[in-house]
Structure 1
Amino acid sequence: MIDKAYKYLESLAPGTPANVQYIEGIIAIGLVAIALTAGWYLSKYIGPKLRHLWEARAGYESELAGRRIRDMTRRAATFILCGIFLAAYPWHNIAQVVFSLTIAITVGLFANDLIRGVRMPDWIGTIVGLALFITIGSGLVGGIAPIAEAMERVGFDLGSRRISLWWIVTVAMTAVILLAVARALMKIVSHIIGNSQLDGAQRVLGQKLATVAILAGAFVLGLDIVGIDLTALAVFSGAFGLAIGFGMQKTIGNLIAGIILLMDRSIKPGDVIAVGDSFGWVNKIGVRAVSVLTREGKEHLIPNEDLMTREVENWSYSNPNIRIGIPVGVSYNTDMDLAMDLMKQACVDVPRVLNHPKPVAWMLEFGDNSVNFEIRCCIKDPQSGVGNFKSAILKRVWDLFKEHEIEIPFPQRDIHIKSLPEGGTVKLEASSKHVVHGTESTNID
């Protein structure tokens, strides 16, 4: 049995003694163990730092992301060291098998963790990991060329392009890996721009432009990797332009309108706007529409083009401060100076009212049943609600008026009946359903 093993080893590398093969294999296993140990130590000490760096750049904390970064650090260190060991000496077959298997396994696991870490489906990570393992491990059986040639034979010709199984697998693998890397870069860039000194609109615009640039770069790089000549796309430019002009006119128009809105900063996230029947604050400016969140919790999606062509009321365009008018009526028997002072005091007692400009109470008119005033005060946070603010002011006015016995009148009507038909009784057709007897007067609310 041992003689057969020796003969097999000699057949793998003719002219190389079997004991040399064994010795190199043992050395390779020892170096792989060193690489694994070094990777473990690096993941233990460098992994937490990389995790904190990722959390600071990506903008969120995750225990699962921390474990993935630690595992990726260990595997990356392992396959880099094994690659260095493999290239540093002309190893024979057994040592090459040990190093190649280690590199194939660690690269496959690294790719799997990377794809899952950017929140792509788990099955994609599994497929890509297996594909990389097979691609690298195929070097043990003569390289990837025999597999590529077999897969190249399965396909058909489309013009000058050969559409084969190997080409499809290459395109799919390239797209998945580039998309995973692009998503990781977009998270980092978006968080960096989000924490910059730019205002809200400029941050959103920067994030969108960075996203477009990263995706465009990944697309061009992918075409170059799979061997597609960019000049070949010129054939389809005319048809693609017509498709945009007719079929995607609204979509492209909304996209351009959204970029213009962000550039001229007429509408920014957080602004309180009114468009038609929609009133609320801007939650998000998207590619197609602007999300307006109302106080009822409803989210109105208004196309970007509508905000460019329709009249928009922006409460916080150049100044976040807005003035609120609240009508109040008092009895004609009231001390008007005292009532005005109490109205101003009610504004002072509500925290959201600004001190500058100071709240005022204006006498507007002598009404049928009351002297009508209007309280005018300013707030700087309309996104926190206007209805609840008015309610707080009126409640405080009510409390102060009750303390000082100031009457808030309500409409009253006196009905005087000058004559009655025979029988002396009449039934009034009114909402109160009261019956008046004789010449008695009554009030109907």
Structure 2
Amino acid sequence: MQGETPPSEDTAAEFVPVEQAWSLAEPAQEESAVAAAEGAKEALSSKSETVGSVIDTLDAVALSFGTFRISLFDVLIVSAVIAGVLVFAWFVSKMARRIVRRMTRLDDTQQLLVEKIATIIVWAAAFFLGIDLLGIDLTALAVFSGAFGLAIGFGLQKTFGNLIAGIILLMDRSIKPGDVIAVTDMAGNESFGQIRKIGIRAVSVTTRDQREYLIPNENLMINQVENWSYSSKNVRMQVPVGVSYDADMKLAEELMLEAAKSYDRILKAPPPTVWMTEYGDSSVNFTIHCWITDPEDGVGNVRSAVLKKLWWLFKENGIEIPFPQRDLHIRSSDQFDRLIEIMGQRSEAPEVTKE
């Protein structure tokens, strides 16, 4: 047809054969989920044909999701790397703890703080080492890190809060292993216990009856805590005593001091003292104040020993420990007076005997 120009060479080059077009439209080759698995596969297959055939068999069992492919061989490689990294981190953290414990310049609290910081550093380094060995691109973890940060913000907020609280408690040394603190149970009963361990999440406190309380670190940092051994382990305890109104008060006080000084756990300085607290309903009440320096060994047993010694001293010196006494006053009335008169007449009437 006249007027039409033949296609130029540039225009002809733009046409692509049908077979080539179909080849371009084919999906990209599936990529392995773990780059380290490919390197291990090539290294092991080059050494032995038998090993290569086994690896090919394991690699043939796989799941594919689009261009994402994971095989049984990949799973084994990932498991081996994770196990190796965990063992390595455990060994290094254990060696770090041994090295820290040999540092005699640090006290127990400082050693525990250094151990925790070293453990966190070791496990963080082990995590990134595992990522590097597996050949995982960190940019691929952008979505995961965002989801992980969201999980920390909602679900793991308390866990990380307790971790940071435990480190802060060790840094300011307000709570440390060996301290004796007051503990309140679920029923509201208060007792005291000794701190055995400051963990990542909670503090372990053991009472005298071997009850172990796990108190979250955050609670000890936010709430009021009664620490008996924060700046000093000296604790003053009270022993209440009551004596009769007819007793020799001066002698009773001397016997109370003697009973307190006879127990070896009570300090000689500051010395025990005796205070008169009140005039009670049945007795004159005193309180023996004495000091001990080992509250972790118990307080009730000290009070019991003093009272037992004082019991025998009072017996030997005739000091009476009175029973409760009450004065009964009855208001007078006509009917009550007649009743008393009739009862009096009956008591005075002569008895009649039958022969």
Alpha-carbon spacing, 1:187–1:418, altered in 2? closer, same or farther (3 Å): same
Query: Matches of 1:165 and 1:336 in 2, distance apart?
Result: 90
For residue 54 of structure 2, the aligned residue among 147, 153, 159 is 147
Show CA shifts across 1:192-251 (max 9, x none).
434543333323222222222222222222221121123432332222111111121222
Query: Matches of 1:211 and 1:159 in 2, distance apart?
Result: 40
2:13 maps to what in 1? none
The answer to whether the 8 Å contact 1:339/1:406 transfers is yes
Amino acid at match of 1:260: I
Query: What SS is found at the alignment partner of 1:343?
Result: helix
Normalised by the size of structure 2, how large is the TM-score? 0.73
Stretch of structure 1 that moved more, 350-359 or 275-284: 275-284
Query: Matches of 1:422 and 1:196 in 2, distance apart?
Result: 93
How far did residue 423 of structure 1 move?
5.0
For residue 228 of structure 1, the aligned residue among 130, 136, 139 is 136
2:79 maps to what in 1? 172
1:286 maps to what in 2? 199
Amino acid at match of 2:272: P
Instruction: Please say if 1:313 is aligned against 2:214.
Output: no
Query: Matches of 1:188 and 1:359 in 2, distance apart?
Result: 49
The answer to whether the 8 Å contact 1:350/1:392 transfers is yes
Show CA shifts across 1:335-369 (max 9, x none).
32322222122122112111221111122333333
Query: Matches of 1:191 and 1:392 in 2, distance apart?
Result: 43
1:247 maps to what in 2? 155
Query: What SS is found at the alignment partner of 1:415?
Result: coil
Stretch of structure 1 that moved more, 179-188 or 325-334: 179-188
The answer to whether the 8 Å contact 1:275/1:311 transfers is no
Query: Matches of 1:345 and 1:159 in 2, distance apart?
Result: 89
CA RMSD of aligned residues (A): 2.9
1:395 maps to what in 2? 308
User: Would you tell me which structure has more helix in proportion to its own residues?
Assistant: 1
1:347 maps to what in 2? 260
Counterparts of 1:24-39 in structure 2, within 5 Å, are none
Higher-Rg structure is 2
For residue 267 of structure 1, the aligned residue among 141, 150, 175 is 175
Q: How many residues matched?
A: 292
Query: What SS is found at the alignment partner of 1:273?
Result: strand
> 1 or 2 for the larger relative contact order (CA 8 Å, sep ≥6)?
2
Amino acid at match of 2:213: H
Instruction: Please say if 1:384 is aligned against 2:297.
Output: yes
Query: What SS is found at the alignment partner of 1:313?
Result: coil
Query: What SS is found at the alignment partner of 2:230?
Result: coil
Percentage of matched positions with identical amino acids: 53
The answer to whether the 8 Å contact 2:205/2:215 transfers is yes
Alpha-carbon spacing, 1:409–1:192, altered in 2? closer, same or farther (3 Å): farther
Query: Matches of 2:236 and 2:152 in 1, distance apart?
Result: 45
Query: What SS is found at the alignment partner of 2:168?
Result: helix
Stretch of structure 1 that moved more, 366-375 or 340-349: 366-375
Unmatched runs of 5 consecutive residues or more in structure 1: 1-135, 426-436, 439-445
For residue 115 of structure 2, the aligned residue among 202, 207, 218 is 207
Unmatched runs of 5 consecutive residues or more in structure 2: 1-42, 348-355
Counterparts of 1:21-170 in structure 2, within 5 Å, are 141-142=48-49, 144-157=51-64, 162-170=69-77
Query: Matches of 1:159 and 1:299 in 2, distance apart?
Result: 54
